[in-house]
Every structure is written in structure tokens, then in C-alpha cells.
Amino acid sequence: MRLIDIGVNLMSPAYNMDREAAVQSAFNAGVSPLVITGVTAAESSRALSYARNWNTRSTAQDPAGVLPSGRLYTTAGVHPHDAKSCNGGTIADLTALAGDRLVLAIGECGLDYNRNFSPQPVQREWFEKQIELAADLSLPLFLHERDAFTDFSLILERHRDSIKAMVVHCFTGGERELEKYLSLGAYIGLTGWVCDERRGSHLLPLLKMIPSDRLLLETDAPFLFPRNLSRQDTQPPPGPGGSRFRGGRNEPRFLPHIACFIAAHLGKDTEVLCREAYENTCRFFGRDFEE
Ligand SMILES: [Zn+2]
């Protein structure tokens, strides 16, 4: 089984004490590459530096076999929560980052009217600017939408002809939203949210509506620890920041668990689902990941 985690918030302080171990254990579990989600221009830059450094070490001559394996990639973008921190230099900064081949997509960008950490008009402005940037650079979009379906889909509709590819990451909506995103040509990113019997059970009947060539898998770690996974499977997060993850700190190594859960609900062979998701991921990013 081989899986690509398309969304890991690897630069989160939750990994400050053991980031390298979290990455290596994902690779040991067959989850590779990992795509680190960029949430601000500065965080995207940190993520890219980390990925570059890892990849350089993992491809170095290593007779003792102690260097890290696997590959890291990133996205570059500004989350709607941080839209208010954008300025005249933001698009230039993202453009410079996206010049690196390790940057696979623009995002995470979109609209979040659930928290409204940035004013809604400011969110819309920077969402559109990042859609235009992705079109200019011919890169796919990594999209976030929460409680903003109407505005979000109107904006996507307006730009759909210029969008190369897009994924609505961490899809948690209903049937109407799913139908709309599929009709716009979007890929659907599923996380361990589906494993949460309190708030994710509405997704289960929708799984069969997602065409097998449109499904992508992600953990969104350290968030969204799959609730049906044993707590014993996760270490208590060490150091400061751990208290935010009382329900368990998620890690990219748990992606196979999410894949198994979805496959079981679809009555599908897990190997088949994983192969399809892997191929979808390669097609979505326009890369074969064999380099
Ligand atoms: Zn998100």
C-alpha cells in the first residue's frame, strides 16, 4: 500500500519536539510523499526550506542507511484566516516560492465564514488573487471552504475556465455542496473527519457519489485525529501546544487507517482504493513522484 498525504500541517508547533520522527514514521507506514500545507507566505517559505533540507539529506550518499527516506513537497498560499495579513508583497512572495519544483499547488486558500478571523470581503479579495496566481502559474489549487458555500462556489464558477485543477480539501459538506464541486470539476479531499461518529456520519452516504477518479486522501494533521482510532496509537504530544490535542494529535502515518475506513464503507478493496487515490493525486498535481 502506498499513499500520498496531500495535506499535512507539518510546520505546526504540535510537531516542534518530534517533527523528524513524525515524518519518518509516516514514510515507514507507506505514506510518501507528504505535501506540507502552506497557510501564510512566511509559513509556506518555512515549509519549503524544511522540505528542501529533508530531500537533500534523503538523496545524499548514505552507506550507513541512517539518513531519512521519502520525499516532502509543499503548497504555497494564504489561508482565509490569515487573509487580513496579506499586503502588496504577498503575491510576489508566493510567486517566488512557487518557482521551486517542490511547490505543487497554490493554497491553502478559500473562504472560512465559520470563524471569520479575517473580514469576509478581505477573504474574497485574497481568494480571487490566489486563484488568478494559480492560473498565471498553471498550478492546481488547494482549497478550503467552511460555511461559505455560496460565495465560494460563485467565485470558483467565475474562474473555472482558468483553473487548471482544484481540490476542495477536508470536504465536510452535504449532498448539494458535493454535487456542485464535482460539477465544477473539483477533486474531493477526505480526512479522518469521516471517521468521527459525532460529526462525520453524514458523509458516509455521500462517499459513493464521489467518482473513483476524483477522490484524494489527507490527514490534515495535527488536526482531526481519527476518532475511531485507539488513543494508544498516538503518543501524548510532547511539549507546549500539546494541550490543544487532548483528543489525540493526528499524524500523517494514520492515513492508511482513513483509507481502510473509506474502503470498508464503499465495500471496496483497500488496495484498489489506495491505488486509485495515488493515481488521482499524481494526475491532480501533474507529477509522477518517481523523481
Ligand atoms: Zn483547511
Quote the ligand 1 centre to 270 CA distance (angstroms). Answer: 26
Computed over every residue of the chain, the mean pLDDT equals 92
pLDDT of 238 higher than 80: no
Q: What percent of the chain has pLDDT over 90?
A: 82
Quote the ligand 1 centre to 171 CA distance (angstroms). Answer: 9
Q: What angle do CA 220, 51, 97 make, to 5 degrees?
A: 90
Quote the ligand 1 centre to 141 CA distance (angstroms). Answer: 12
- Pinpoint the alpha helices (H) of the chain: 19-28, 41-58, 90-98, 120-137, 149-159, 175-183, 255-266, 270-285
Q: How many other CB atoms sit within 10 Å of the CB of residue 42?
A: 14
pLDDT the model gives residue 56: 86
Q: Which of 22-26, 53-57, 165-169, 221-225 has the lowest mean pLDDT?
A: 53-57
Distance of CA 38 to the CA centre of its chain: 9
* pLDDT tens digits for range 158-200: 999 999 999 999 999 999 999 999 999 999 999 999 998 888 8
Quote the ligand 1 centre to 44 CA distance (angstroms). Answer: 14
Q: What is d(CA 228, CA 245) in angstroms, rounded to the nearest whole number?
A: 15
The number of residues making up the chain comes to 291
Quote the ligand 1 centre to 60 CA distance (angstroms). Answer: 34
150: which 3 cell numbers?
A: 455560496
Q: What is d(CA 234, CA 161) in angstroms, rounded to the nearest whole number?
A: 43
* pLDDT tens digits for range 242-252: 555 666 899 99
> Strand locations in 96-238, DSSP E?
103-112, 141-146, 166-168, 187-190, 215-217
Of 3.20.20.140, 1.20.1090.10, 3.40.50.300, 3.90.650.10, the CATH number of 3-285 is 3.20.20.140
Quote the ligand 1 centre to 15 CA distance (angstroms). Answer: 18
Quote the ligand 1 centre to 65 CA distance (angstroms). Answer: 36
Quote the ligand 1 centre to 87 CA distance (angstroms). Answer: 21
Quote the ligand 1 centre to 1 CA distance (angstroms). Answer: 26
Quote the ligand 1 centre to 39 CA distance (angstroms). Answer: 9
